[in-house]
């Protein structure tokens, strides 16, 4: 007779309960804004708020800008290190993990000291300059995840052979990266982009200390002023995170040049 792994199932159920029970309690509490009945009034209140839409749009645009900047920074670097400087891979991997070691508060105070009043480039004195520092901060915080995703994607393909084939056809190095390497690691780039977006959207420390109207400070502020709306926002943020994870998994399992929702065509007889 087959033995049932009781301890394994028990550990899995306890782990699931540890996450699902508070989530259920939060969801149930978010439905109790109207006394004596369950309703989505708290969600309607949040979604109808102009301030909510404003901060969400600002954080979304800043996160998208951080994704573009991260791709432009990471893809050529990872490509060049793997192709020409493999001995520097341990150094680049260590540097990419530095944002996990250095607290964000140290990062933003460094920005204020370097680009504040009296500096050669006082970016914090203008709104555009502060937004630029915010995007750079998001890019730095998401660098470990973007670099790992792109580096793993390049490990799955033979970039040396692809580069030699492209150059033999007259392609420049820039065109090789843009038209050959990039499409073959598209799934990895999209995975890193979703991670960057989910991290940047709810970031609090950098956004707050730079005095930007981001989604992270908004969540903290509304948690101090209201009771039911913060629970609704927490559930929506959780749902958005899981949507990003599902999309990341779909793109990660897609073949190069094939979208995640495209059906495979059968062979003609």
Task: Please write the tens of the pLDDT for every residue from 82-122.
Answer: 988 888 889 999 999 999 888 889 988 888 888 887 778 88
Residue 1 in domain:
no
- Whether residue 61 lies inside any domain: the answer is yes
Q: What is the pLDDT of residue 252?
A: 60
| Domains held by the chain: number | 1
pLDDT tens digits for range 196-229: 888 888 889 999 988 898 888 988 888 888 888 8
Residue 142 belongs to some domain of the structure: yes
Nearest to 257 by CA among 159, 177, 185: 185
Locate tokens 């996450």: which residue?
Answer: 19
Neighbours of 65 (CB within 10 A): 18
111: domain CATH number is: 1.10.3720.10
Please report which residue ranges of 103-177 form alpha helices under DSSP H: 104-115, 127-141, 143-155, 159-168, 173-176
For 160, list phi and psi in degrees, rounded to 5.
-65, -45
| Residue span of the structural domain in which 187 resides | 41-252
Residue 25 lies in a domain: no
Q: What percent of the chain has pLDDT over 90?
A: 21
6 inside domain: no
Residue 130, in any domain of the structure: yes
Residue 21 resides in a domain:
no
Give tens-digit pLDDT for 115-148.
887 778 888 888 999 999 999 999 999 999 999 9
- CB-CB neighbours of 88 under 10 Å: 14
Please choose, from the candidates 26, 212, 32, 76, the residue with its C-alpha nearest in 3D space to the C-alpha of residue 136: 212
């Amino acid at each position: 007779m087959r033995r049932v792994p009781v301890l394994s199932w028990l550990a899995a159920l306890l782990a699931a309960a540890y996450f699902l029970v508070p989530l259920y309690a939060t969801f149930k509490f978010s439905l109790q804004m109207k006394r004596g009945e369950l309703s989505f009034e708290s969600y309607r209140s949040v979604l109808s708020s102009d301030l909510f839409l404003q901060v969400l749009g600002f954080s979304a645009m800043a996160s998208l800008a951080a994704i573009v900047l991260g791709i432009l920074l990471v893809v050529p670097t990872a490509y060049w290190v793997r192709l020409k400087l493999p001995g520097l891979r341990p150094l680049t991997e260590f540097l990419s993990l530095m944002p996990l070691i250095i607290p964000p508060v140290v990062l933003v105070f460094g920005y204020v000291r370097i680009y504040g009043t009296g500096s050669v480039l006082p970016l914090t004195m203008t709104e555009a300059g502060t937004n630029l520092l915010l995007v750079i901060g998001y890019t730095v915080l998401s660098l470990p995840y973007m670099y790992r995703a792109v580096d793993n994607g390049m490990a799955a393909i033979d970039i040396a052979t692809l580069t030699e084939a492209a150059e033999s056809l007259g392609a420049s190095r820039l065109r090789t990266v843009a038209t050959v390497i990039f499409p073959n690691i598209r799934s990895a780039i999209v995975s890193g982009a979703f991670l960057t977006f989910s991290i940047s959207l709810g970031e609090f420390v950098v956004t707050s200390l730079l005095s930007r109207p981001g989604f992270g400070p908004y969540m903290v502020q509304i948690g101090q002023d209201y009771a039911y709306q913060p629970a609704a926002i927490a559930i929506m943020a959780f749902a958005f995170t899981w949507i990003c994870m599902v999309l990341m998994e779909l793109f990660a399992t897609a073949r190069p040049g094939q979208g995640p929702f495209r059906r495979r065509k059968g062979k003609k007889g």
